[in-house]
Amino acid sequence: MSGAELKARYEAAFMPNYGVPPLALARGEGSRVWDADGRAYLDLIAGIAVSSLGHAHPALVEAVSAQVATLAHTSNLFLHEPEVLLAERLRELLGGDGRLFLTNSGTEANECALKLAIKYGKVNGRSYFVAAENGFHGRSMGALSLTGKASIREPFGPYAIDVRFVPYGDADALKSAVTADCAAVFLEPTLGEAGVVPPPEGYFAAAREICDATGALFVADEIQSAIGRTGAWFAFEHENAKPDVLTLAKGLGGGLPIGACVAFGEHGGLFAKGDHGSTFGGNPVGAAAALAVLGTIEKDGLLAHAAEVGEVLAEGLGAVEHPLLAGVRGRGLWRAAVLTGPHAPAVEAAARGAGFLINAVAPDALRIAPPLILTADEARSFTDAFPAILDAARPEA
């Protein structure tokens, strides 16, 4: 089917919440994808920081194919080897500690963290939650209640829990907001959906200290930032600020849907039998995919690679002088090109025209979150093309 036909049929069959996406993708290989009309693109968004090994990576194809041919699903009535190996591997990466709950998505990982935090609050007589203005934690009602981005939160309120929002990156404001009555603080290490906005250095460590001082649970939402994205397994490692509860998803399964909520220390034992569950969460195929992702990142040295190629990307973009470009921010293979005005949709479209997929994550910011296997040459092919892309996107052009 052609892209045009797919778009028309999509529009008729789906709810209008996404609008009609600009491209129908048909296949991928490495960091490249092809649309339904056969045109190739360098994929610099990786399905929103998900396709960590790129597309059709042999390790992922083999692991998933073998697992689906052996046992695709058990439900939580039975356990299976891939989930045990995955939980053990994640614990190893997290210092040998932590107990897991596996999910199918990011928002479900945060639902689990929120239920843990609610239980923690009930047990300890703590009643409210703190999260960041402009933060994003997901679209299900619990995660949405923690989401600070007003445009997506407000239309669906009121919410059942008391969440107090603080300006992201302001440690003093956080300190004032967190009292002995606060059950938990939910924070991203860098705001992802708000436009890859890192906090001032030391903010995550300060949040850790504030939670230690008050007894609030420190919940790190690393759904977008973890599994190599910043050049480390987990972004909290950059500030040595290990949370009490950690949520993961996007890059973990390399494109297969799987997420995790990890609770450390005594918090790992907060749920009693029957407190939470999922029919599909941690299914054997997703778990096998995640094991292949973690194994490949380790075997191929993709943490160091992401840090290196991330620098190539940042330096290349930083060297571009253009009236539309204000700067570049972020870490590893998780960057935003910041624009001087609300030109991101036009630049995203111009990039697509030039054969590059990037994401207008905010009116004035373009998110770049490529597969961790992106090569330095591929990164340079984009930064070399970027001035002409910006030219093509100029309002007067």
Ligand X SMILES: *Cc1c(COP(=O)(O)O)cnc(C)c1O
Annotated binding site for pyridoxal 5'-phosphate: 106-107, 136, 221-224, 279
In the complex, minimum distance from the CB of residue 30 to ligand X, in angstroms, rounded to a whole number? 24
- Reading the block at residue 252, the tokens are 């973990």
Residue nearest ligand X (C-beta atom): 106
In the complex, minimum distance from the CB of residue 106 to ligand X, in angstroms, rounded to a whole number? 2
Tell me if 106 contacts ligand X by CB under 6 A.
yes
Tell me if 281 contacts ligand X by CB under 6 A.
no
Tell me if 43 contacts ligand X by CB under 6 A.
no
Specify whether the CB–CB gap between 44 and 71 falls below 8 A.
Answer: no
Three-class DSSP category at 323: coil
Tell me if 138 contacts ligand X by CB under 6 A.
yes
Residues 169-188 as x/- pattern, contact with ligand X by CB under 6 A:
-------------------x
Closest CA to 184 of 224, 240, 146: 146
Closest CA to 105 of 245, 283, 298: 283
In the complex, minimum distance from the CB of residue 252 to ligand X, in angstroms, rounded to a whole number? 10
Specify whether the CB–CB gap between 219 and 270 falls below 8 A.
Answer: no
Closest CA to 209 of 232, 178, 234, 182: 178
Tell me if 230 contacts ligand X by CB under 6 A.
no
Q: Which of residues 203-222 bind ligand X (CB under 6 A)?
A: 221
- Please report, as a single letter, which amino acid is at residue 265: G
Residues 304-333 as x/- pattern, contact with ligand X by CB under 6 A:
------------------------------
Element (H, E) at 326: strand 325-331
Mark the segment that binds ligand X (CB under 6 A) among 100-108, 203-211, 283-291, 366-374. 100-108
Radius of gyration of the chain (CA): 21
Q: What are phi and psi of 135, to 5 degrees?
A: -70, 160
Mark the segment that binds ligand X (CB under 6 A) among 101-109, 170-178, 346-354, 363-371. 101-109
In the complex, minimum distance from the CB of residue 48 to ligand X, in angstroms, rounded to a whole number? 6
- Reading the block at residue 314, the tokens are 């940042």
Catalytically annotated residues: 136, 221, 250
* Pairing state between β 99-103 and 325-331: unpaired
In the complex, minimum distance from the CB of residue 290 to ligand X, in angstroms, rounded to a whole number? 14
Tell me if 223 contacts ligand X by CB under 6 A.
yes
Tell me if 224 contacts ligand X by CB under 6 A.
yes
As annotated, the binding site includes 106-107, 136, 139, 221-224, 278-279
Residue 218 pairs in a beta bridge with: 185
Tell me if 249 contacts ligand X by CB under 6 A.
yes
Pairwise CA distance, residues 144 & 269, whole Å: 25
Dihedral (Cα; 76, 80, 83, 88), 10-degree rounding = 120
Q: Which of residues 347-376 bind ligand X (CB under 6 A)?
A: none
Three-class DSSP category at 187: strand
Q: What does the binding site for ligand X look like in residue numbers (CB under 6 A)? A: 105-107, 110, 136-138, 188, 192-193, 221, 223-224, 249-250
